[in-house]
Amino acid sequence: MDRFIIRGGRPLHGEITIGGAKNAGLKLLVAGLLTSERLVLTNVPHIADIATMCALLTQHGLTVEAVNGDKTTLSVGGEITSTEAPYDIVSKMRASILVLGPLLARCREARVSLPGGCAIGTRPVDMHLKGLETLGAVITLENGYIHARAPEGLKGDRIVLPFASVGATENLMMAATLAKGRTEIVNAAREPEMADLASCLNAMGAKITGAGTGHIIIDGVEALHGTTHRIMSDRIECGTYACAAAITGGDLRLIGGQVEHLGAVVRAFEEAGVEVTQEGNAMRVRRTGALRGIDIMTEPYPGFPTDMQAQFMALLSVAEGASMITETIFENRFMHVPELNRMGARINVHGSSAIIRGVHSLSGAPVMATDLRASFSLILAGLAAHGETILSRVYHLDRGYEAVERKLAACGAQIERVSN
């Protein structure tokens, strides 16, 4: 099992290229289930979760292959030979639940294992199932599997989500592209990845308006066709490396980063004393003064994203004064707190809030990753700490970040990956 060894105390300077968005690429791959023609995706991130999704699509009968040997360009297509998504694949990644809607829409039946993924909360799939039932599906749960049937096909209807769930919105939007009539999704998730998915689906022949707002309208069509689509840049990867510049007192240009996609994250940086500017196709992040403590509450987009909470906690652990982070999305997403405290942070958790009292410096220590984003919070702490930090269980990190050690080392970090 691989580990990272980090020797901190070096400001980062230089450029980092931001890859394609994990949270967009996974769903765009699933869109390949909606047509028998080829869907070609460019700017595909080379990460473990993409490989898992490719394995799942292959299980369904699709062919997924690199175009001209370029792993950042994937071709997806073929006939569906199996409508079952088995436990051994789905248990590795919660995003696998997104095959349910497309399989049901195209094949009128699907059997999908209940999903797994990071242990950061329950994240129930109730909204996915209730939404599909509104579209006419008959759903039963049996032996750990979701069995969905729509013998007469799905039929458009009005769906009001009780919470702006990203996964439910994407699943229902994809299913509705092949439903009969009009579907409305009210209180839809508004993340930029939603608009990216809709853009691709529309290029495939779908009729979707309102994606990226809280009210999405989909007029069903008979069939979709192939297209070529470039995956948007990863705003969470961009925000994460912005934290690396901030916590080390450095200056980074993040190629492909878009200030407009980060929303509340940019405001949080500025309140904490970090300068963020757009320079052409790059986002520049630098800190020249002291970090200031701030209060953050995670919320659905355009609020502060839960996927940036752990990284900001590391950043605020060395800020002047006190900070408070309140987590409203996932109930178990403070598992990195004990590890940060091992490095000298002063963080106390009270229910859904964490109180952070900034310290002058952190100290290197052996620490253990607990989930994808928590992994990088510990890297950030290691980059700022005195001495050596050894991070174990980096397989969590590999699920969503590509070539971390190479990107950081190119900007002056002392970080290396070693195998046990």
Q: Write down the pLDDT at residue 7.
A: 98
**CATH number for domain 2-18+233-419, candidates 3.60.21.10, 3.65.10.10, 3.30.420.40, 3.30.70.100:** 3.65.10.10
pLDDT at 241: 98
How confident is the model over 167-181, as pLDDT tens digits?
Answer: 999 999 999 999 999
Binning pLDDT at 50, 70 and 90, where does residue 243 land?
A: very high
Q: Per-residue pLDDT tens for 325-353?
A: 999 987 677 989 999 999 999 999 999 99
Find out whether 406 is annotated in a ligand binding site. no
Residue extents of the structural domains in the chain: 2-18+233-419, 22-230
Domain 22-230: give its CATH code: 3.65.10.10
The answer to whether the 2-18+233-419 and 22-230 domains have the same CATH topology is yes
3-state secondary structure the chain: CEEEEEECCCCCEEEEECCECHHHHHHHHHHHHHCCCCEEEECCCCCHHHHHHHHHHHHCCCEEEEECCEEEEEEEECCCCCCEECHHHHCCCHHHHHHHHHHHHHHCEEEEECCCCCCCCCCCCHHHHHHHHHCCCEEEEECCEEEEECCCCCECCEEECCCCCHHHHHHHHHHHCCCECEEEEECCCCCHHHHHHHHHHHHCCCEEECECECEEEEECCCCCCCEEEECCECHHHHHHHHHHHHHHCCEEEEECCCHHHHCHHHHHHHHCCCEEEEECCEEEEECCCCCECCEEEECCCCCECHHHHHHHHHHHCCCECEEEEECCCCCCCCCCHHHHHHCCCEEEEECCEEEEECCCCCECCEEECCCHHHHHHHHHHHHHCECEEEEECCHHHHCCCCCHHHHHHCCCCEEEEEEC
pLDDT tens track for 364-380:
999 999 888 889 999 99
Task: Look at residue 93 in the predicted model and tell me its pLDDT.
Answer: 85
Residue 23 counted as an annotated binding residue:
yes
- pLDDT of 211 above 50: yes
Catalytic residue chosen out of the listed positions 118, 200, 238, 411 = 118
Does 200 participate in catalysis according to the annotation?
no
> Over 90: is that where the pLDDT of 90 sits?
no
329 marked as part of a ligand binding site? yes
Tell me the whole-structure pTM to 2 decimals: 0.94
Model pLDDT, residue 116: 53
* Residue 22 counted as an annotated binding residue: yes
pLDDT at residue 118 greater than cutoff 50: no
94 known ligand binder: yes
